[in-house]
A and B are shown apart, each in its own frame.
Chain A
Amino acid sequence: MSRIWRFGDDVNTDQIVPGRYAPYMTSEAELRKYPFIEARPEFAPGVQPGDIIVAGRNFGCGSSREYAPQALKLVGVGAIIAPSFARIFYRNALNLGIPLFEADLDWLSDGAEAQIDSGSGVLHTSRGAIQLPQPPTWMQEIWQAGGIVPYFREHGRFPGEAAR
Protein backbone atom coordinates (compact mmCIF):
# COMPACT_ATOMS: atom_id res chain seq x y z
CA MET A 1 0.00 0.00 0.00
CA SER A 2 1.01 3.60 -0.52
CA ARG A 3 0.69 6.33 2.06
CA ILE A 4 -1.22 9.58 2.12
CA TRP A 5 0.70 12.81 2.69
CA ARG A 6 -1.69 15.53 3.88
CA PHE A 7 -1.17 19.23 3.19
CA GLY A 8 -3.33 22.29 3.87
CA ASP A 9 -4.78 25.08 1.71
CA ASP A 10 -2.77 27.37 -0.60
CA VAL A 11 0.39 25.24 -0.72
CA ASN A 12 2.61 27.41 -2.95
CA THR A 13 5.50 26.47 -5.22
CA ASP A 14 7.97 28.20 -2.86
CA GLN A 15 6.96 25.57 -0.31
CA ILE A 16 7.20 22.70 -2.81
CA VAL A 17 10.70 23.74 -3.97
CA PRO A 18 12.05 27.09 -2.70
CA GLY A 19 13.62 29.29 -5.40
CA ARG A 20 17.01 28.90 -3.75
CA TYR A 21 16.93 25.16 -4.46
CA ALA A 22 16.14 25.49 -8.17
CA PRO A 23 18.26 23.40 -10.54
CA TYR A 24 19.57 26.78 -11.80
CA MET A 25 21.08 27.46 -8.37
CA THR A 26 22.12 23.92 -7.43
CA SER A 27 21.98 21.11 -9.97
CA GLU A 28 19.41 19.02 -11.78
CA ALA A 29 20.80 15.88 -10.10
CA GLU A 30 19.95 17.19 -6.64
CA LEU A 31 16.32 18.12 -7.32
CA ARG A 32 14.92 14.92 -5.81
CA LYS A 33 16.26 15.99 -2.39
CA TYR A 34 14.32 19.23 -2.31
CA PRO A 35 10.54 18.75 -2.42
CA PHE A 36 9.13 20.41 0.74
CA ILE A 37 12.68 20.76 2.10
CA GLU A 38 11.67 23.57 4.46
CA ALA A 39 7.90 23.21 4.72
CA ARG A 40 8.10 19.50 5.57
CA PRO A 41 11.68 18.20 5.79
CA GLU A 42 10.62 14.57 6.47
CA PHE A 43 8.81 14.36 3.09
CA ALA A 44 11.70 13.87 0.65
CA PRO A 45 13.51 11.19 2.72
CA GLY A 46 10.24 9.39 3.56
CA VAL A 47 8.16 9.46 0.39
CA GLN A 48 7.90 6.20 -1.57
CA PRO A 49 6.99 5.72 -5.24
CA GLY A 50 3.20 5.65 -5.57
CA ASP A 51 2.50 7.75 -2.47
CA ILE A 52 -0.37 10.20 -2.78
CA ILE A 53 -0.57 13.86 -1.83
CA VAL A 54 -3.97 14.92 -0.48
CA ALA A 55 -4.16 18.67 -0.03
CA GLY A 56 -6.51 21.60 0.53
CA ARG A 57 -7.63 24.13 -2.04
CA ASN A 58 -5.43 26.07 -4.48
CA PHE A 59 -2.58 23.55 -4.44
CA GLY A 60 0.53 24.78 -6.27
CA CYS A 61 -0.20 28.50 -6.31
CA GLY A 62 2.54 31.02 -7.04
CA SER A 63 5.38 30.60 -9.48
CA SER A 64 5.43 28.90 -12.89
CA ARG A 65 8.47 26.80 -11.90
CA GLU A 66 8.03 23.41 -13.51
CA TYR A 67 10.76 22.03 -11.25
CA ALA A 68 8.17 21.99 -8.44
CA PRO A 69 5.98 19.24 -10.00
CA GLN A 70 9.15 17.79 -11.57
CA ALA A 71 10.60 17.25 -8.09
CA LEU A 72 7.38 15.51 -6.99
CA LYS A 73 7.54 13.31 -10.08
CA LEU A 74 11.19 12.44 -9.43
CA VAL A 75 10.37 11.08 -5.97
CA GLY A 76 7.51 9.07 -7.45
CA VAL A 77 4.36 10.87 -6.25
CA GLY A 78 1.59 8.77 -7.78
CA ALA A 79 -1.22 11.31 -7.75
CA ILE A 80 -2.22 14.62 -6.20
CA ILE A 81 -5.78 15.09 -4.94
CA ALA A 82 -7.07 18.53 -3.92
CA PRO A 83 -10.38 20.43 -4.14
CA SER A 84 -8.70 22.88 -6.54
CA PHE A 85 -5.31 23.54 -8.14
CA ALA A 86 -3.56 26.71 -9.25
CA ARG A 87 -3.69 26.69 -13.03
CA ILE A 88 0.01 26.86 -13.92
CA PHE A 89 0.78 24.02 -11.51
CA TYR A 90 -2.10 21.97 -12.90
CA ARG A 91 -0.84 22.51 -16.42
CA ASN A 92 2.79 21.75 -15.55
CA ALA A 93 1.81 18.55 -13.74
CA LEU A 94 -0.40 17.49 -16.65
CA ASN A 95 2.45 18.20 -19.06
CA LEU A 96 4.74 15.98 -16.99
CA GLY A 97 2.14 13.22 -16.79
CA ILE A 98 1.36 13.43 -13.06
CA PRO A 99 -2.29 12.45 -12.40
CA LEU A 100 -4.30 15.15 -10.60
CA PHE A 101 -7.80 14.77 -9.24
CA GLU A 102 -10.11 17.53 -8.02
CA ALA A 103 -11.73 16.23 -4.85
CA ASP A 104 -11.98 17.27 -1.22
CA LEU A 105 -10.78 14.33 0.91
CA ASP A 106 -10.18 16.20 4.16
CA TRP A 107 -11.31 13.14 6.16
CA LEU A 108 -8.27 11.19 5.03
CA SER A 109 -5.57 11.44 7.66
CA ASP A 110 -1.87 11.95 7.16
CA GLY A 111 -0.05 8.62 7.03
CA ALA A 112 -3.19 6.66 6.08
CA GLU A 113 -2.73 3.78 3.68
CA ALA A 114 -4.31 3.98 0.25
CA GLN A 115 -3.84 2.79 -3.31
CA ILE A 116 -4.82 4.62 -6.47
CA ASP A 117 -5.63 3.34 -9.94
CA SER A 118 -5.07 6.59 -11.79
CA GLY A 119 -6.46 5.21 -15.04
CA SER A 120 -9.89 4.56 -13.56
CA GLY A 121 -9.66 7.24 -10.86
CA VAL A 122 -10.46 4.75 -8.11
CA LEU A 123 -8.86 5.35 -4.71
CA HIS A 124 -8.80 2.37 -2.37
CA THR A 125 -8.76 3.34 1.31
CA SER A 126 -9.37 1.53 4.60
CA ARG A 127 -12.93 2.88 4.42
CA GLY A 128 -13.53 1.41 0.98
CA ALA A 129 -13.10 2.48 -2.61
CA ILE A 130 -13.87 5.99 -3.84
CA GLN A 131 -14.46 6.98 -7.45
CA LEU A 132 -12.66 10.31 -7.96
CA PRO A 133 -14.04 12.82 -10.47
CA GLN A 134 -12.28 12.22 -13.78
CA PRO A 135 -10.88 15.01 -15.95
CA PRO A 136 -11.94 15.17 -19.63
CA THR A 137 -10.79 12.32 -21.89
CA TRP A 138 -8.27 14.47 -23.76
CA MET A 139 -6.51 15.27 -20.48
CA GLN A 140 -6.40 11.60 -19.56
CA GLU A 141 -4.84 10.93 -22.96
CA ILE A 142 -2.00 13.31 -22.04
CA TRP A 143 -1.30 11.36 -18.80
CA GLN A 144 -1.53 8.08 -20.62
CA ALA A 145 0.96 9.27 -23.20
CA GLY A 146 3.30 10.19 -20.33
CA GLY A 147 2.95 13.96 -20.70
CA ILE A 148 2.47 16.65 -23.33
CA VAL A 149 5.77 16.03 -25.16
CA PRO A 150 5.08 12.35 -25.94
CA TYR A 151 1.43 13.32 -26.65
CA PHE A 152 2.57 15.96 -29.14
CA ARG A 153 5.07 13.63 -30.78
CA GLU A 154 2.43 10.93 -31.07
CA HIS A 155 -0.40 13.12 -32.44
CA GLY A 156 1.56 15.87 -34.18
CA ARG A 157 -0.75 18.48 -32.66
CA PHE A 158 -1.92 20.05 -29.42
CA PRO A 159 -4.97 18.74 -27.58
CA GLY A 160 -7.06 21.81 -28.49
CA GLU A 161 -8.56 20.40 -31.66
CA ALA A 162 -9.24 17.01 -30.06
CA ALA A 163 -11.14 18.72 -27.27
CA ARG A 164 -13.65 20.40 -29.59
Chain B
Amino acid sequence: MAQTLAEQILSHAAGRTVQAGEVVTARVDLAMVHDSIAPSVIRILHEQLGAERVWNPDRIAVAIDHVAPAANLQTAESQNNLRSWARSQNIRNLFDVGRGIAHQVLIEERLARPGLLIVGSDSHSTAYGAVGAFGTGMGATDIALALATGQTWLRVPETIRVQAHGRLRSGVTAKDVALKIARELRADGATYQAIEYHGFDSFSLGERTTLTTMAIEVGGKAGIVPPNGPALANEYAPSWLTIEPDARYSRTLEINLDDLDPQIAAPNHVDNVTDLRNLGRINVDVVYLGTCTNGRHEDMAAAARILRGRRINPQVRMMVVPASSEALQLAIADGTISTLLAAGATLGTPGCGACIGRHMGVLGPTDVCLFTGNRNFRGRMGHPDAQIYLGSPEVAAATAVAGYIASPNEIERT
Protein backbone atom coordinates (compact mmCIF):
# COMPACT_ATOMS: atom_id res chain seq x y z
CA MET B 1 0.00 0.00 0.00
CA ALA B 2 1.22 3.48 -0.84
CA GLN B 3 2.75 5.33 2.11
CA THR B 4 3.28 8.91 3.18
CA LEU B 5 6.84 10.04 3.98
CA ALA B 6 6.11 9.69 7.72
CA GLU B 7 4.88 6.12 7.19
CA GLN B 8 7.96 5.28 5.12
CA ILE B 9 10.41 6.65 7.68
CA LEU B 10 8.65 5.03 10.64
CA SER B 11 8.40 1.70 8.76
CA HIS B 12 12.13 1.83 8.23
CA ALA B 13 12.72 2.74 11.88
CA ALA B 14 10.36 0.03 13.14
CA GLY B 15 11.73 -2.66 10.82
CA ARG B 16 8.29 -3.54 9.48
CA THR B 17 5.68 -1.98 7.22
CA VAL B 18 3.44 0.28 9.27
CA GLN B 19 0.63 2.66 8.56
CA ALA B 20 -1.08 5.59 10.24
CA GLY B 21 -2.74 4.73 13.54
CA GLU B 22 -0.37 1.93 14.55
CA VAL B 23 1.76 2.23 17.67
CA VAL B 24 5.33 1.18 17.01
CA THR B 25 8.64 0.74 18.79
CA ALA B 26 11.17 2.45 16.57
CA ARG B 27 14.94 2.71 16.37
CA VAL B 28 16.16 6.27 16.90
CA ASP B 29 18.84 7.45 14.47
CA LEU B 30 19.76 10.60 16.36
CA ALA B 31 18.76 12.05 19.74
CA MET B 32 19.33 15.69 20.62
CA VAL B 33 19.52 17.12 24.14
CA HIS B 34 19.92 20.81 24.95
CA ASP B 35 21.12 22.62 28.03
CA SER B 36 17.68 23.56 29.31
CA ILE B 37 16.45 19.99 29.73
CA ALA B 38 19.76 18.14 30.08
CA PRO B 39 19.86 18.17 33.92
CA SER B 40 16.50 16.34 34.03
CA VAL B 41 17.49 13.94 31.25
CA ILE B 42 20.75 13.01 32.97
CA ARG B 43 19.02 12.53 36.33
CA ILE B 44 16.30 10.28 34.84
CA LEU B 45 18.87 8.32 32.83
CA HIS B 46 21.10 7.51 35.78
CA GLU B 47 18.77 7.61 38.80
CA GLN B 48 15.48 6.30 37.43
CA LEU B 49 16.64 4.07 34.58
CA GLY B 50 19.90 3.00 36.20
CA ALA B 51 21.75 3.37 32.88
CA GLU B 52 25.43 4.14 33.31
CA ARG B 53 26.21 4.60 29.63
CA VAL B 54 24.24 6.04 26.74
CA TRP B 55 23.35 3.56 24.00
CA ASN B 56 25.59 5.08 21.32
CA PRO B 57 27.50 8.33 21.89
CA ASP B 58 27.85 8.97 18.15
CA ARG B 59 24.10 9.11 17.73
CA ILE B 60 23.61 11.74 20.41
CA ALA B 61 24.02 15.47 19.99
CA VAL B 62 24.24 17.90 22.89
CA ALA B 63 23.69 21.62 22.34
CA ILE B 64 24.17 24.52 24.72
CA ASP B 65 21.86 26.99 23.02
CA HIS B 66 18.95 27.90 25.29
CA VAL B 67 20.91 30.10 27.71
CA ALA B 68 24.16 30.75 25.87
CA PRO B 69 26.33 32.18 27.27
CA ALA B 70 25.24 31.39 30.82
CA ALA B 71 23.10 34.11 32.37
CA ASN B 72 23.56 33.32 36.07
CA LEU B 73 25.46 31.06 38.46
CA GLN B 74 22.84 28.34 38.26
CA THR B 75 23.03 28.00 34.46
CA ALA B 76 26.84 28.33 34.48
CA GLU B 77 27.18 25.42 36.90
CA SER B 78 24.57 23.37 35.08
CA GLN B 79 26.39 23.84 31.76
CA ASN B 80 29.69 22.76 33.33
CA ASN B 81 27.98 19.62 34.61
CA LEU B 82 26.62 18.96 31.11
CA ARG B 83 30.08 19.38 29.55
CA SER B 84 31.62 16.93 32.02
CA TRP B 85 28.84 14.45 31.50
CA ALA B 86 29.11 14.59 27.71
CA ARG B 87 32.88 14.01 27.95
CA SER B 88 32.42 11.11 30.36
CA GLN B 89 29.99 9.53 27.90
CA ASN B 90 32.34 10.10 24.91
CA ILE B 91 29.74 12.26 23.17
CA ARG B 92 31.73 14.10 20.51
CA ASN B 93 28.80 16.04 19.11
CA LEU B 94 28.82 18.67 21.84
CA PHE B 95 27.89 22.04 20.39
CA ASP B 96 28.94 24.54 23.00
CA VAL B 97 28.11 28.21 23.63
CA GLY B 98 28.22 30.23 20.42
CA ARG B 99 27.89 27.37 17.94
CA GLY B 100 24.20 28.09 17.65
CA ILE B 101 20.71 26.62 17.88
CA ALA B 102 20.67 22.82 17.88
CA HIS B 103 18.26 22.53 14.96
CA GLN B 104 20.30 24.77 12.68
CA VAL B 105 23.60 23.21 13.77
CA LEU B 106 22.46 19.60 13.26
CA ILE B 107 21.41 20.49 9.73
CA GLU B 108 24.68 22.34 9.02
CA GLU B 109 26.74 19.46 10.42
CA ARG B 110 24.75 17.05 8.24
CA LEU B 111 23.82 15.01 11.28
CA ALA B 112 20.20 15.55 10.22
CA ARG B 113 19.77 13.62 6.96
CA PRO B 114 16.88 12.44 4.77
CA GLY B 115 14.97 9.45 6.08
CA LEU B 116 16.31 9.57 9.66
CA LEU B 117 14.18 9.40 12.80
CA ILE B 118 15.40 12.23 15.03
CA VAL B 119 14.05 12.95 18.50
CA GLY B 120 14.96 16.12 20.34
CA SER B 121 14.27 17.56 23.78
CA ASP B 122 12.72 20.57 22.08
CA SER B 123 9.36 21.05 20.42
CA HIS B 124 10.94 22.70 17.37
CA SER B 125 12.68 19.41 16.52
CA THR B 126 10.16 19.28 13.67
CA ALA B 127 12.89 21.43 12.02
CA TYR B 128 14.71 18.32 10.77
CA GLY B 129 11.94 17.72 8.25
CA ALA B 130 13.65 20.44 6.19
CA VAL B 131 16.09 17.77 5.00
CA GLY B 132 13.46 15.04 4.71
CA ALA B 133 13.93 13.55 8.19
CA PHE B 134 11.16 12.70 10.68
CA GLY B 135 12.02 15.07 13.52
CA THR B 136 9.86 15.27 16.61
CA GLY B 137 10.04 16.90 20.03
CA MET B 138 9.74 14.99 23.28
CA GLY B 139 10.08 15.60 27.00
CA ALA B 140 12.93 14.69 29.33
CA THR B 141 11.68 11.19 30.19
CA ASP B 142 11.25 10.14 26.56
CA ILE B 143 14.65 11.52 25.65
CA ALA B 144 16.28 9.76 28.62
CA LEU B 145 14.69 6.48 27.47
CA ALA B 146 15.96 7.08 23.93
CA LEU B 147 19.45 7.78 25.25
CA ALA B 148 19.40 4.59 27.32
CA THR B 149 17.91 2.24 24.72
CA GLY B 150 18.24 3.82 21.26
CA GLN B 151 14.51 3.33 20.90
CA THR B 152 11.25 5.13 21.38
CA TRP B 153 7.58 4.42 20.88
CA LEU B 154 5.40 6.37 18.49
CA ARG B 155 1.92 6.37 17.12
CA VAL B 156 2.32 6.53 13.33
CA PRO B 157 0.65 9.81 12.41
CA GLU B 158 -1.82 10.57 9.67
CA THR B 159 -0.48 13.23 7.29
CA ILE B 160 -1.84 16.58 6.15
CA ARG B 161 -0.64 17.53 2.67
CA VAL B 162 0.16 21.21 2.16
CA GLN B 163 0.21 21.84 -1.58
CA ALA B 164 1.66 25.12 -2.83
CA HIS B 165 1.01 26.61 -6.25
CA GLY B 166 2.89 29.40 -7.99
CA ARG B 167 5.74 31.56 -6.70
CA LEU B 168 6.10 34.13 -3.94
CA ARG B 169 6.13 37.80 -4.91
CA SER B 170 8.89 40.18 -3.88
CA GLY B 171 8.70 40.99 -0.16
CA VAL B 172 6.79 37.79 0.63
CA THR B 173 8.70 34.92 2.26
CA ALA B 174 8.66 31.38 3.62
CA LYS B 175 7.70 32.89 6.98
CA ASP B 176 4.54 34.29 5.45
CA VAL B 177 3.75 30.80 4.12
CA ALA B 178 4.30 29.31 7.59
CA LEU B 179 2.01 31.94 9.16
CA LYS B 180 -0.58 31.40 6.43
CA ILE B 181 -0.55 27.67 7.22
CA ALA B 182 -1.12 28.50 10.92
CA ARG B 183 -3.95 30.82 9.89
CA GLU B 184 -5.64 28.06 7.89
CA LEU B 185 -4.95 24.98 10.04
CA ARG B 186 -5.16 26.82 13.40
CA ALA B 187 -3.05 26.03 16.48
CA ASP B 188 -4.37 22.48 16.85
CA GLY B 189 -5.10 21.67 13.20
CA ALA B 190 -2.34 19.10 12.85
CA THR B 191 -2.38 17.61 16.37
CA TYR B 192 -1.22 13.94 16.34
CA GLN B 193 -0.50 14.36 12.60
CA ALA B 194 2.46 14.97 10.32
CA ILE B 195 2.58 17.60 7.59
CA GLU B 196 4.08 17.09 4.13
CA TYR B 197 4.95 20.24 2.22
CA HIS B 198 4.61 19.90 -1.56
CA GLY B 199 5.33 22.48 -4.24
CA PHE B 200 8.36 23.90 -2.43
CA ASP B 201 11.13 22.34 -4.56
CA SER B 202 12.53 25.81 -5.32
CA PHE B 203 12.82 26.67 -1.62
CA SER B 204 16.29 26.92 -0.06
CA LEU B 205 17.24 24.74 2.90
CA GLY B 206 16.71 27.78 5.13
CA GLU B 207 13.24 28.47 3.75
CA ARG B 208 12.32 24.83 4.28
CA THR B 209 13.51 25.08 7.88
CA THR B 210 11.29 28.13 8.41
CA LEU B 211 8.31 25.97 7.37
CA THR B 212 9.23 22.87 9.36
CA THR B 213 10.13 24.64 12.63
CA MET B 214 6.58 25.97 12.60
CA ALA B 215 4.90 22.58 12.06
CA ILE B 216 4.65 22.32 15.87
CA GLU B 217 2.78 25.64 15.98
CA VAL B 218 -0.19 23.88 14.37
CA GLY B 219 0.28 20.87 16.65
CA GLY B 220 2.24 18.78 14.13
CA LYS B 221 4.24 15.77 15.26
CA ALA B 222 6.57 16.20 12.29
CA GLY B 223 6.76 18.46 9.24
CA ILE B 224 8.51 16.98 6.25
CA VAL B 225 9.58 18.61 2.99
CA PRO B 226 10.32 15.96 0.34
CA PRO B 227 14.13 16.02 -0.17
CA ASN B 228 13.90 17.15 -3.79
CA GLY B 229 15.00 20.28 -5.62
CA PRO B 230 18.32 22.15 -5.94
CA ALA B 231 18.69 22.79 -2.18
CA LEU B 232 19.00 19.05 -1.54
CA ALA B 233 20.89 18.21 -4.77
CA ASN B 234 24.02 17.17 -2.89
CA GLU B 235 22.16 15.23 -0.23
CA TYR B 236 21.90 11.47 -0.42
CA ALA B 237 18.31 10.40 0.14
CA PRO B 238 17.72 6.69 0.70
CA SER B 239 16.13 4.95 -2.27
CA TRP B 240 13.14 3.80 -0.18
CA LEU B 241 12.14 7.41 0.56
CA THR B 242 9.93 8.52 -2.34
CA ILE B 243 6.74 10.44 -2.90
CA GLU B 244 4.03 7.86 -3.55
CA PRO B 245 1.18 9.43 -5.50
CA ASP B 246 -1.45 7.16 -3.99
CA ALA B 247 -0.44 7.83 -0.37
CA ARG B 248 -3.42 8.71 1.80
CA TYR B 249 -3.66 12.16 3.35
CA SER B 250 -6.14 13.17 6.03
CA ARG B 251 -6.59 16.51 4.28
CA THR B 252 -4.97 18.73 1.66
CA LEU B 253 -4.44 22.43 2.22
CA GLU B 254 -3.89 24.33 -1.05
CA ILE B 255 -1.91 27.56 -0.83
CA ASN B 256 -1.57 29.96 -3.72
CA LEU B 257 1.82 31.62 -3.34
CA ASP B 258 1.19 34.13 -6.16
CA ASP B 259 -1.30 36.22 -4.22
CA LEU B 260 0.05 35.76 -0.70
CA ASP B 261 0.68 39.00 1.22
CA PRO B 262 3.03 39.51 4.18
CA GLN B 263 1.38 37.88 7.21
CA ILE B 264 1.49 38.91 10.86
CA ALA B 265 0.55 36.84 13.92
CA ALA B 266 -0.81 39.25 16.52
CA PRO B 267 -0.66 38.59 20.29
CA ASN B 268 -1.02 36.08 21.95
CA HIS B 269 -1.57 33.15 19.62
CA VAL B 270 0.43 31.97 16.62
CA ASP B 271 -2.78 31.38 14.66
CA ASN B 272 -4.06 34.92 15.27
CA VAL B 273 -2.86 35.80 11.77
CA THR B 274 -3.86 38.64 9.49
CA ASP B 275 -2.59 40.23 6.27
CA LEU B 276 -0.14 42.94 7.33
CA ARG B 277 -2.04 45.54 5.27
CA ASN B 278 -5.15 44.96 7.41
CA LEU B 279 -3.31 45.24 10.71
CA GLY B 280 -3.62 48.99 11.31
CA ARG B 281 -0.78 51.04 12.76
CA ILE B 282 1.15 49.18 15.48
CA ASN B 283 4.11 51.14 16.89
CA VAL B 284 6.95 48.95 18.10
CA ASP B 285 9.76 49.33 20.64
CA VAL B 286 11.78 46.24 19.77
CA VAL B 287 12.57 44.38 16.57
CA TYR B 288 14.06 40.95 17.25
CA LEU B 289 15.68 39.06 14.37
CA GLY B 290 16.76 35.50 15.09
CA THR B 291 15.69 31.96 16.17
CA CYS B 292 15.58 28.56 14.47
CA THR B 293 12.73 29.87 12.36
CA ASN B 294 14.40 33.00 10.93
CA GLY B 295 17.96 33.54 12.21
CA ARG B 296 19.95 32.23 9.27
CA HIS B 297 22.39 34.06 7.00
CA GLU B 298 19.73 34.53 4.32
CA ASP B 299 17.37 36.06 6.89
CA MET B 300 19.98 38.55 8.07
CA ALA B 301 20.95 39.30 4.46
CA ALA B 302 17.32 39.94 3.53
CA ALA B 303 17.01 42.40 6.42
CA ALA B 304 20.31 44.05 5.42
CA ARG B 305 19.10 44.60 1.85
CA ILE B 306 16.31 46.76 3.26
CA LEU B 307 18.46 48.46 5.92
CA ARG B 308 21.38 49.31 3.61
CA GLY B 309 21.77 53.10 3.59
CA ARG B 310 18.96 53.52 6.13
CA ARG B 311 18.88 54.04 9.89
CA ILE B 312 16.50 52.29 12.19
CA ASN B 313 13.93 54.49 13.87
CA PRO B 314 15.31 56.10 17.06
CA GLN B 315 12.30 54.77 19.00
CA VAL B 316 13.26 51.17 18.11
CA ARG B 317 15.88 48.80 19.55
CA MET B 318 16.83 46.14 17.01
CA MET B 319 18.44 42.93 18.24
CA VAL B 320 20.04 40.43 15.84
CA VAL B 321 20.84 36.95 17.17
CA PRO B 322 22.22 34.60 14.48
CA ALA B 323 20.98 31.01 14.48
CA SER B 324 24.53 29.65 14.28
CA SER B 325 28.21 30.57 14.16
CA GLU B 326 28.23 29.54 10.50
CA ALA B 327 25.38 31.96 9.76
CA LEU B 328 27.26 34.68 11.65
CA GLN B 329 30.51 34.05 9.77
CA LEU B 330 28.76 34.18 6.40
CA ALA B 331 27.06 37.41 7.45
CA ILE B 332 30.38 38.93 8.50
CA ALA B 333 32.13 37.82 5.30
CA ASP B 334 29.61 39.43 2.93
CA GLY B 335 29.13 42.66 4.89
CA THR B 336 25.63 41.85 6.15
CA ILE B 337 26.62 42.36 9.78
CA SER B 338 28.30 45.69 8.96
CA THR B 339 25.14 46.87 7.26
CA LEU B 340 22.94 45.83 10.18
CA LEU B 341 25.24 47.49 12.72
CA ALA B 342 25.55 50.65 10.61
CA ALA B 343 21.76 50.87 10.58
CA GLY B 344 21.77 50.74 14.37
CA ALA B 345 21.13 47.08 15.20
CA THR B 346 22.79 45.21 18.10
CA LEU B 347 24.33 41.74 17.81
CA GLY B 348 23.98 38.81 20.25
CA THR B 349 25.69 35.42 20.62
CA PRO B 350 24.35 32.74 18.23
CA GLY B 351 21.67 30.71 20.02
CA CYS B 352 18.05 30.89 21.08
CA GLY B 353 18.38 34.45 22.43
CA ALA B 354 15.30 35.88 24.15
CA CYS B 355 12.90 33.44 22.43
CA ILE B 356 12.31 31.71 25.77
CA GLY B 357 12.39 34.96 27.75
CA ARG B 358 15.47 34.13 29.76
CA HIS B 359 18.26 36.42 28.61
CA MET B 360 19.75 38.55 25.85
CA GLY B 361 17.07 41.17 25.43
CA VAL B 362 13.99 40.04 27.39
CA LEU B 363 10.96 42.30 27.02
CA GLY B 364 9.62 44.67 29.66
CA PRO B 365 5.94 45.26 30.47
CA THR B 366 5.31 48.07 27.97
CA ASP B 367 7.38 46.63 25.11
CA VAL B 368 5.80 45.92 21.75
CA CYS B 369 8.00 43.60 19.71
CA LEU B 370 8.12 42.51 16.08
CA PHE B 371 9.72 39.07 16.34
CA THR B 372 10.94 36.78 13.55
CA GLY B 373 10.53 33.75 15.84
CA ASN B 374 7.76 31.23 16.11
CA ARG B 375 5.79 31.94 19.31
CA ASN B 376 3.99 35.03 20.56
CA PHE B 377 2.49 33.47 23.68
CA ARG B 378 1.87 35.75 26.64
CA GLY B 379 5.10 36.07 28.63
CA ARG B 380 7.11 34.12 26.06
CA MET B 381 9.92 36.68 25.72
CA GLY B 382 9.76 38.19 29.18
CA HIS B 383 7.09 40.24 30.91
CA PRO B 384 3.55 38.87 30.46
CA ASP B 385 2.28 42.31 29.45
CA ALA B 386 4.75 42.64 26.55
CA GLN B 387 3.10 42.35 23.13
CA ILE B 388 4.72 40.06 20.54
CA TYR B 389 3.90 40.16 16.82
CA LEU B 390 5.40 37.51 14.53
CA GLY B 391 6.59 38.38 11.03
CA SER B 392 9.30 37.80 8.43
CA PRO B 393 12.89 39.18 8.46
CA GLU B 394 11.92 41.59 5.66
CA VAL B 395 8.99 42.89 7.70
CA ALA B 396 11.33 43.12 10.72
CA ALA B 397 13.73 45.35 8.78
CA ALA B 398 10.96 47.52 7.36
CA THR B 399 9.44 47.84 10.82
CA ALA B 400 12.78 48.84 12.34
CA VAL B 401 12.98 51.72 9.87
CA ALA B 402 9.34 52.79 10.11
CA GLY B 403 8.90 52.44 13.87
CA TYR B 404 5.60 50.67 13.21
CA ILE B 405 4.83 47.30 11.64
CA ALA B 406 5.44 47.91 7.94
CA SER B 407 5.78 45.88 4.76
CA PRO B 408 9.12 45.86 2.94
CA ASN B 409 7.48 47.28 -0.20
CA GLU B 410 6.23 50.28 1.77
CA ILE B 411 9.74 51.13 2.99
CA GLU B 412 11.48 50.45 -0.30
CA ARG B 413 9.23 52.95 -2.08
CA THR B 414 10.48 55.74 0.21
Contacts and interface: CB of A to CB of B under 8 A. Distances in A.
Contacts, number: 145
Interface centre among B23, B74, B125, B154 (most CB of A within 10 A): B23
Contact of B153 (A15, A38, A158): A158
Contacts of A67: 40, 140
B325 to A, nearest CB: 23
Interface in A125-164: 138, 147-149, 152-153, 157-161, 163-164
A158 B219 contact: no
B358 A87 contact: no
A25 B75 contact: yes
Interface in B228-253: none
A18 B358 CA distance: 10
Given A58-B188, A64-B138, A39 B378 contact: yes
B202 interface: no
- Size category of the A interface is 35 or more
Given A66-B40, A86-B191, A164 B75 contact: no
A68 B39 CA distance: 15
Given A10-B188, A158-B153, A23 B24 contact: no
Interface stretch (A42-50, A89-97, A105-113, A115-123): A89-97
Contact of B379 (A18, A58, A152): A18
A95 B74 contact: no
Interface string B127-141: 000000000011111
Interface string B68-100: 000110110010000000000000000000000
A18 B386 CA distance: 14
Interface string A1-32: 00000000010101100111011111100000
Contact of B358 (A25, A158, A161): A25
A158 B358 CA distance: 35
B44 A19 contact: no
A33 interface: no
A58 B219 contact: yes
B264 interface: no
A67 B151 CA distance: 22
A161 B25 CA distance: 7
Given A15-B379, A148-B142, A25 B72 contact: yes
B137 A88 contact: yes
A164 B139 CA distance: 24
Given A23-B40, A147-B141, A87 B221 contact: yes
9 contacts: A14-B357, A18-B357, A25-B72, A38-B384, A86-B188, A88-B137, A152-B49, A159-B153, A160-B26
Shortest beta-carbon contacts, A-B, top 7:
A66-B139, A160-B25, A58-B188, A163-B23, A92-B139, A19-B356, A158-B153
Interface of B: 14, 22-26, 35-37, 39-40, 44, 48-49, 66-67, 71-72, 74-75, 78, 120-123, 125, 137-142, 145, 151-154, 187-188, 191-192, 216, 219, 221, 269, 356-358, 362, 375, 377-380, 382, 384
